[in-house]
Amino acid sequence: MTATAMPRHTTWAALATAAAVLLVSGCQFKGAESIPLPGGQGAGAGAYRVTVEFPDVLDLVPQSAVKVNDVTVGSVQAIDLKGYVARVVVSVNKDVVLPDNARASLRQTSLLGEKFVSLDQPVGQQPQGRLRDGATIGLDRTSRGAEIEEVLGALSLVLNGGSLEQLQVINRELVAALKGREPQVRDLLTQLNTFVGGLDKQKQDIVRALDGLDKLTGHLAAQRKVLATGLRDIPPGVSVLADQRAQLTQVLTGLNRLGTVATRVINASQQNTVADLKALEPILTQLNVAGKDLPASLELLTTYPFPKTVAEGVKGDYANLYITLDSSINDLLHNVAPTPLPTVLPTALPTALPTALPTALPTRLPSLPAVPGAPSLPPVPRLPGSGPSPAPLPQLPGLGGLAAGDQSGMLYLLLGGLS
């Protein structure tokens, strides 16, 4: 066999290409996935880049797909680590419109398929703004699915060290416990359903009771010092009550006996009390009937013998009253002043005295105007010696030597002095 020699210019071209790749890669080769490929999604003009943060990217590699609703719209450009957070830079076609609060998840095409980054609409929120070049989707809006390795590892824990063999024993004992008690279990489940339903209906009341209990505990917490003082002072008070237990017992016993005696007295005097009340019934009835007249009659006592309306019948400052005097004035004067009168008169007498009494005195008082509802006045007794021609008044003892005309002057003096 003869070997065909390669043209020299082809060999130099291959070496130049390899050198260029090494220079572009920074003298560090990371595998075929680090070599940029022409074409593909997210590599055209106008594409924008977004940084997505994940706690773990598993086996995600550059050039992996970026999908929206399972449609490829871009690719993974770079993966780097910042602290404990994996930062994935993806490039998305310019015609893909996503909200600024979009979410990102790390998924795989099948059970053992390749990983890709999925950009999704926000969950439970309204879309806001638009995702633009240089935006970042933080850890609070990223997630990843469970790996098959993690599922198999958890299953191995259950099968090997999770006491799976005890399920048969548990099932057998449960059947033995419930066998023959199906009606009771069914009734229990029914009552439990009713109980839970009642709790659900009273949910608002329970919440309100819990709120009230919370307020009560708040007030108790605010009165903590007062409660502490009360708890500190209550034991001495209880001790005093305990020391006076005998006296308190005697008081209660005495009250019991008093109640017994009072009951016996009330029972014995029941008939008499009822009879007295029945006897008082007519009196109280008449008092009730005269209820309006009784106060009016009591008002008359303060103005007796004149009614309270007498002022309406008197025009002016004085009431016109007439009094007739006769010879009995001496007896009246003796009764008023029983001591003997002096025999010597004062030297200074009034300069002008009337010479005689009026020839005619009125024999009766003038009639007052009738007042409705006022009692009638008693008749005025006639004085002795009164009449059309009254007899001369007797002389006072010790006043001899005065003329008849002087008697009226003396009487005027006496009456003026008495008034």
Query: What pLDDT sits at residue 197?
Result: 92
Q: How far is CA 181 from CA 169, 170, 173, in A?
A: 20, 18, 14
State pLDDT tens for residues 337-381: 555 545 554 555 455 545 544 554 454 545 545 545 555 555 545
Average pLDDT over residues 72-86: 91
At 119, which helix (H) or strand (E)? strand 115-120
State pLDDT tens for residues 273-315: 899 988 998 888 888 888 777 777 777 777 666 666 666 666 6
Last residue within a domain, chosen from 150, 165, 193: 150
Alpha-carbon distance 103 to 119, whole Å?
6
The pTM score is: 0.35
What's the structural domain count of the chain?
Answer: 3
Tell whether 197 and 130 lie within a shared domain: no
**Pair 104, 66: CB distance under 8 Å:** no
**Pair 66, 74: CB distance under 8 Å:** yes
Q: Establish if 251 belongs to a structural domain.
A: no
Query: What pLDDT sits at residue 322?
Result: 56
Q: Establish if 212 belongs to a structural domain.
A: yes
90 pLDDT more than 90: yes
Query: What pLDDT sits at residue 2?
Result: 39
191 pLDDT band, cuts 50/70/90, is very high
Query: What pLDDT sits at residue 338?
Result: 52
Tell whether 114 and 189 lie within a shared domain: no
Average pLDDT over residues 44-52: 89
Alpha-carbon distance 400 to 378, whole Å?
39
404 pLDDT band, cuts 50/70/90, is very low
Q: Establish if 330 belongs to a structural domain.
A: yes
Alpha-carbon distance 339 to 173, whole Å?
136
Last residue within a domain, chosen from 194, 221, 243: 243
Average pLDDT over residues 249-275: 91
Residue recorded with tokens 């003009």: 45
Residue % of the chain over a pLDDT of 90: 29
**Torsion angles phi and psi, residue 54, rounded to 5:** -130, 145
State pLDDT tens for residues 236-256: 889 998 999 999 999 999 999
24 pLDDT more than 70: no
Q: Establish if 156 belongs to a structural domain.
A: no
Tell whether 346 and 405 lie within a shared domain: yes
Query: What pLDDT sits at residue 405?
Result: 44
**Pair 142, 53: CB distance under 8 Å:** yes
72 pLDDT more than 60: yes
Structure tokens at 400: 């001899």
Alpha-carbon distance 363 to 326, whole Å?
11
Query: What pLDDT sits at residue 34?
Result: 56
403 pLDDT more than 60: no
**Pair 377, 368: CB distance under 8 Å:** yes
Tell whether 392 and 336 lie within a shared domain: yes
Return all residues near 360 (Cβ < 8 A) that are at least 6 apart. 388
Query: Which of the two residues, 72 and 161, has the higher pLDDT score?
Result: 72
Domain that holds residue 136: 41-150
Tell whether 138 and 189 lie within a shared domain: no
59 pLDDT more than 50: yes
412 pLDDT more than 70: no
Q: How far is CA 394 from CA 14, 23, 354, 382, in A?
A: 186, 175, 17, 18
Q: Establish if 277 belongs to a structural domain.
A: no
Last residue within a domain, chosen from 131, 150, 169: 150
Query: Which of the two residues, 152 and 249, has the higher pLDDT score?
Result: 249
Q: What is the CA radius of gyration of the chain?
A: 66
Q: Establish if 283 belongs to a structural domain.
A: no
Query: What is the rounded average pLDDT for all residues in the chain?
Result: 75
Average pLDDT over residues 50-60: 90
According to DSSP, the β-strands at 142-144 and 103-108 are parallel
Q: Establish if 104 belongs to a structural domain.
A: yes
Alpha-carbon distance 256 to 251, whole Å?
9
